[in-house]
Amino acid sequence: MRTTLLLCLFIAGCSSLFAQLKYPPTKTVEAQDTYWGVTYTDPYRWLEDMKDPEVNNWFKAQADLTNTTMSNIAGRDELIAEWRKLDKLQPPQIYYPIKEGGRIFYQKRMPGEKVSKVYFRENVGAAEQLLFDPLTYQQGKTLSVQQIAPSYDGKKLLIGYAENGAEVQTILVVDVNTGKILPDVIPATGGIGGWTFDNKAFMYMWIKSADNTDPGGRLNPKTKLHTLGADPAADIDFFSNESYPDLKIDAKVYPYTFFEKDSRDYIFAGEGTVQNEMKMYYAPISQANSGKIQWKTLCTPADKLVRSFDVAGDKVFAITYNGAKKYKLVTTDLKNPDWANAKVIAPEKPMTLENFTRCKDFLLISYSDGINNHFYKYNLRTEKMSEVTLPYAGSAYSMCMDTKTNEYYVGVTSWNKPFTVFVYNADTDKFSPSPLFPAPVYPDEYKNLIVEEVEVKGHDGVMVPLSIIYKKGTKKDSSNVCLMESYGAYGYGMSPYFNVELNSLAIKGAVIAIPHVRGGGEKGEDWYKAGYKTTKPNTWKDFISCAEYLIANGYTKADKLSGTGTSAGGILITRAITERPDLFAAAVCNVGCANALRLEFSSNGPVNIPEFGTVTDSIECKALYEMDGMQHVKKGVNYPAVMSVGGWTDPRVVVWQPGKFAAAVQNASTSGKPVLMKVNYDNGHFTEDREVTFANFADQYAFMMWQCGHPDFQVKKEASGSKP
């Protein structure tokens, strides 16, 4: 009787709140496009005009509604408080250490700090010295450091900072000896390139416009060369389609250059897109100041080089899938590069070859069995391979800060073990604690979660890996709230890692499920290409198959199941709920691609054509339509509760992508469940700012837990008007 009463009060409370959800009016327009004989309507095209006050007002009204709604949900603020508490338990966190000129440069964030600061040490054991604090550099602004690059002599440091997650960098030059910022300030760039060997100049990516809503803002970028003390207006167009028209560099490509300190006889260049296959050039270093470099081809996409690349002297090392669908590591000579006949260092294995890291005498090579990494070391002198036993099973990452040594930093993590960095000596095969990276500290309940690794039969019989994380004692009686998350693009796998925010839900009794869908790289090149362009439907169909498995095996049921996808994962989640709206109680499209037919018409769209396709190709156009969540929203359907999330300064997925999807579902759904558009005006695609990040994900997770009926995340009594 008490249970029935509580349920009635819960429903009454929800109804009271829902009655207040009066969505901002969203007009429709008669916009349409005809491609290859098919006409596609786009009634929310008007939302793409981010300069229109009406559009700005619509997003602001949506943001206000979301903020008001979520402020009335219990549990949201408690999540933030929990994450802050855990953050303050941790030792100082050091990011991106780089050693040049004997000095070590890095970013460090203290417990409780919003963003990291930039420091250096004369050596590992020396006292650290603060070089740059982004919170005090410009009063009243929250800046974050996105890149640092020391000169080879360690006397100068480039710092690239951005505001509100915009990913448009202002570059500063710091004199390390004095700590003073030099007059060489380069605003609104696409990022730092690197220093010349004489330490007198550096490269950076010039972009036409820093406006993330300008469709042409990032077309025809250039690598420019700035000499210290010179007027930035006179910076040299060092590498671009304009300076080297014979190379026929496409307008959407980012042309980049770099120097390699272990191969000082050469200068290197490349064409950067999201395409995994590398296209690179090189030339003798003597031509670097000639004004016209005679570039030679180092590799083309036909060579199928992907994932990792390195040079030392005249030797080039790279991973390829040429004749090896799970990849192999090969080497050739810069004097006459021949990838077709390159020497095989690490042959294809049943496991997937992920990357390698070079030190003085060894290559540390990482394979994945689809879930855990396995390390091998290759001795460059003896040409022998041996296995390395990691401290524990999980995802492992390596870096060598000084290639004059055989010392690595190796970080290891898993679903229930926090990211811990060790020093690995390749000569002795010994792991030891790192003086730079103290071990993290978490309560035992975060580390005692149960992890199951299973395989699920997909819609076409293919077995799909699924990771399931939950609290010990959880019953498989279909009573559990469950949150699914996946990605499935670019060949990036859902590698195990200790996700504090998700684990905080698991200790509250939620089941966390991570499908390893096609489009990721867990099982090699074929797995990636099986969720790519025309095969993209496998990505969301694998997600759906995993959802059905969780329900069939008692982990949850449909009215307690939620799903989320971020960025390219927006395709996965919007198509999963438009194809199977009955399967989910709630979904979050987080800075997600939700309108694939219009992707290439945004500022970051052209560079993504190699991954998703273009409407100018008849076959790829049909594939884009299949990926398009907004295009598959139908009136009169009982859709799950939806939260779309957009970053106002996002240069990767412009805010109208998730915005148009929210508008479509608000106007179409007949389920009565809330459809919210969350707008982060202090965020882009992401941000380093911990407070902004905590608030962002607290809203997302509280929304899903609320809609799935978790008792800790319901409408506050004062908001519902119900009585105990």
> CATH no. for residue 182?
2.130.10.120
Both 709 and 670 in one domain: the answer is yes
**Would you list the DSSP string of 70-120?**
HHTBTTHHHHHHHHHHHHHHSPPEEEEEEEETTEEEEEEE-TT-SS-EEEE
Q: pTM, whole model, 2 decimals? A: 0.94
Q: Could you tell me if residue 403 is inside a domain?
A: no
**Confidence category of residue 19, pLDDT binned at 50, 70, 90:** very low
Q: What average pLDDT does this structure show over 585-599?
A: 98
Spatial CB neighbours of 347, under 8 Å, sequence gap ≥ 6:
324, 328
Both 481 and 605 in one domain: the answer is yes
Both 661 and 703 in one domain: the answer is yes
Number of domains in the chain: 2
Q: Is residue 555 pLDDT above 70, yes or no?
A: yes
Q: Could you tell me if residue 328 is inside a domain?
A: no
Q: Which pLDDT score, from 0 to 100, does residue 6 have?
A: 33
- Would you say 169 and 192 are in contact if contact means Cβ atoms under 8 Å apart? yes
Both 595 and 698 in one domain: the answer is yes
User: In this structure, what CATH number is given to the domain that contains residue 706?
Assistant: 3.40.50.1820
Both 222 and 76 in one domain: the answer is no
Q: Which pLDDT score, from 0 to 100, does residue 20 have?
A: 54
Q: Could you tell me if residue 116 is inside a domain?
A: yes
Both 71 and 181 in one domain: the answer is no
Domain boundary among 173, 204, 227: 227
Range of the domain at 143: 91-227
Q: Could you tell me if residue 336 is inside a domain?
A: no
Q: Could you tell me if residue 595 is inside a domain?
A: yes
Both 98 and 79 in one domain: the answer is no
Both 77 and 206 in one domain: the answer is no
Q: Which tens digit of pLDDT belongs to each residue from 107-132?
A: 999 999 999 999 999 998 899 999 99
Both 212 and 75 in one domain: the answer is no
Q: Is residue 454 pLDDT above 90, yes or no?
A: yes
Both 73 and 162 in one domain: the answer is no
Q: Which pLDDT score, from 0 to 100, does residue 230 have?
A: 97
Alpha-carbon distance 86 to 294, whole Å? Answer: 55
**Confidence category of residue 596, pLDDT binned at 50, 70, 90:** very high
Q: Which pLDDT score, from 0 to 100, does residue 3 have?
A: 34
Both 79 and 219 in one domain: the answer is no
Q: Which tens digit of pLDDT belongs to each residue from 608-647?
A: 999 999 999 999 999 999 999 999 999 999 999 999 999 9
Token pair in block for residue 430: 């010994």
Q: Which pLDDT score, from 0 to 100, does residue 13 have?
A: 38
Both 551 and 696 in one domain: the answer is yes
Q: What is the CA radius of gyration of the chain?
A: 26
Domain boundary among 195, 227, 259: 227
Q: Could you tell me if residue 46 is inside a domain?
A: no
Q: Could you tell me if residue 111 is inside a domain?
A: yes
Q: Which tens digit of pLDDT belongs to each residue from 129-174?
A: 999 999 999 988 889 999 999 999 999 999 999 998 899 999 999 9
Q: Could you tell me if residue 676 is inside a domain?
A: yes
Domain boundary among 192, 227, 262: 227
Q: Which pLDDT score, from 0 to 100, does residue 12 have?
A: 35
Which of 196-201's residues contact partners 24+ apart within 8 Å by CB, and which partners? 196/225, 196/259, 196/288, 197/152, 197/259, 197/261, 197/264, 197/285, 199/151, 199/152, 199/153, 199/155, 199/156, 200/227, 200/228, 201/225, 201/226, 201/227, 201/228
Q: What average pLDDT does this structure show over 375-392?
A: 97
Q: Which pLDDT score, from 0 to 100, does residue 4 have?
A: 33
